[in-house]
């Protein structure tokens, strides 16, 4: 069974070690050392170039190193009919929940204003609402969003969530679809984005969505940069509709030198680190899926190409 690993950001060594130990028959290759491409049955990838998969005529499945598969699905030359699997949690749920909780508390406890006061050498206590008065809106209540929502509930925040189809989660007020959007937004002081990037969600966080939030709300985006219309976000920050944004993901990554987000006083930038796939927590999932695929069983985290996630 030949598998080709491709990633410009992940070290193949721990993956090779884990997969060779669990699957002694595996021929683990790291791009570009693939040998005969006609023998390749599986790829384990993060953001391969467009058209890259075309060279493997006997491909049985594409295994994504990430939870989000938008970059794969945007490839117009992705082989049709080949199953794609994505990471399901794989240690990222805890990391994403930590990032979201940090962002919410950072804004709730007015840390950006204290940082500005410190720069001026001013000792100035500010009023702060109780957590119960600071409702959080979670966009997307899937594998990762649900864990963050549960952590925020445990921290005492009222939590709203918005999904494509109706969902329930203890302690969370759930809204779905267009019908639920206005009430969800109006009741959220801070919006935390956990949506997959799909044709339906691209550009969703635009002027009209931001205008639906209470004035002076906050945004924490740890899903994808493509969800945000950057000019609309900057305008909302500049006119006070939004009081601050913590951004981990961007339309163009790395965030280009000179981009306004870098120096905006109400924007916090992190370099797509809200959650990283670590082989230690994720290799078992890949091993299990390779076994299932070899046995003709349905793998975990199978992507629905028509839905885009």
Residue from 102, 272, 292, 305 carrying the catalytic annotation? 272
CA-CA distance, 149 to 234, in Å (whole number)? 27
Q: How many residues contact ligand GLV, by CB under 6 A?
A: 5
Q: Which is nearer to ligand NAP, 19 or 67 (CB)?
A: 67
- Looking only at residues 44 through 83 of this chain, which bind ligand GLV when binding is defined by CB under 6 A? 66-68
Pick 198 or 241: Cβ nearer ligand NAP: 198
144 binds, among ligand GLV, ligand NAP, none (CB under 5 to 8 A by kind): ligand NAP
The terminus-to-terminus CA distance of the chain in angstroms comes to 27
Structure tokens at 62: 């594409």
Which CB sits closer to ligand GLV, 66 or 301?
66
Tokens 């929940």 found at: 97
Query: In angstroms, what is the minimal distance from the CB of 56 to ligand GLV?
Result: 22
CB atoms within 10 A of CB 262: 11
Residue 67 C-beta: closest distance to ligand NAP, Å: 4
- The closest alpha carbon to 141, from 168, 104, 105, belongs to 168
Task: Give catalytic status of residue 224 as yes or no.
Answer: yes
Three-state secondary-structure class, residue 290: helix
Please say which residue, 166 or 199, places its beta carbon nearer to ligand GLV: 199
Kindly list the residues in this chain that would bind ligand NAP in the complex (CB under 6 A): 67-68, 92, 140-145, 162-165, 167, 194-198, 200-201, 222-224, 248-249, 272, 274-275, 309
Minimal CA–CA distance to 38: which of 65, 59, 15? 59
CA-to-CA distance for 18 and 5, rounded, in angstroms? 13
- Residues in 245-284 at the binding interface with ligand GLV, rule: CB under 6 A: 277
168 is written with which tokens? 């329930």
Q: Give 52's DSSP letter.
A: G
Q: In this structure, what DSSP letter does residue 133 have?
A: G
Q: State the minimum distance, in angstroms, from the CB of residue 144 to ligand GLV.
A: 9
Q: Which residues are catalytic?
A: 224, 272
Per CB under 6 A, residues contacting ligand GLV are: 66-68, 87, 277
């Amino acid at each position: 069974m030949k598998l080709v690993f491709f990633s410009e950001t992940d070290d193949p060594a721990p993956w090779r070690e884990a997969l060779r130990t669990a699957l002694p028959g595996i021929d683990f290759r790291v791009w570009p050392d693939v040998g005969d491409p006609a023998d390749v049955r599986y790829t384990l990838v993060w953001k391969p170039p467009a058209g890259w998969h075309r060279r493997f005529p006997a491909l049985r499945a594409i295994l994504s190193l990430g939870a989000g598969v938008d970059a794969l699905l945007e490839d117009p030359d992705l082989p049709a009919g080949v199953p794609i699997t994505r990471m399901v949690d794989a240690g990222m749920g805890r990391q994403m929940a930590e990032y979201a909780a940090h962002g919410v508390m950072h804004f709730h406890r007015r840390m950006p204003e204290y940082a500005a006061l410190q720069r001026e050498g001013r000792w100035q206590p500010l009023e702060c609402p109780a957590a119960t008065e600071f409702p959080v809106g979670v966009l997307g209540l899937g594998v990762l969003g649900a864990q963050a929502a549960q952590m925020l509930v445990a921290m005492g925040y009222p939590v709203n969530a918005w999904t494509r189809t109706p969902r329930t989660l203890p302690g969370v007020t759930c809204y779905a679809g267009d019908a639920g959007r206005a009430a969800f937004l109006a009741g959220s002081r801070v919006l935390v984005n956990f949506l997959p990037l799909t044709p339906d969600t691209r550009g969703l966080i635009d002027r009209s969505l931001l205008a639906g939030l209470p004035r002076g709300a906050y945004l924490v985006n740890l899903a994808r940069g493509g969800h945000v219309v950057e000019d609309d976000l900057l305008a909302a920050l500049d006119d006070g509709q939004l009081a601050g944004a913590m951004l981990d993901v961007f339309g163009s990554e790395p965030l280009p030198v000179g981009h306004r987000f870098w120096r905006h006083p109400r924007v916090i930038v992190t370099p797509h680190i809200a959650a990283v796939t670590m082989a230690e927590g994720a290799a078992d999932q890949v091993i299990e899926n390779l076994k299932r695929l070899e046995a003709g069983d349905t793998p975990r985290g199978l992507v629905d190409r028509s839905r885009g996630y």
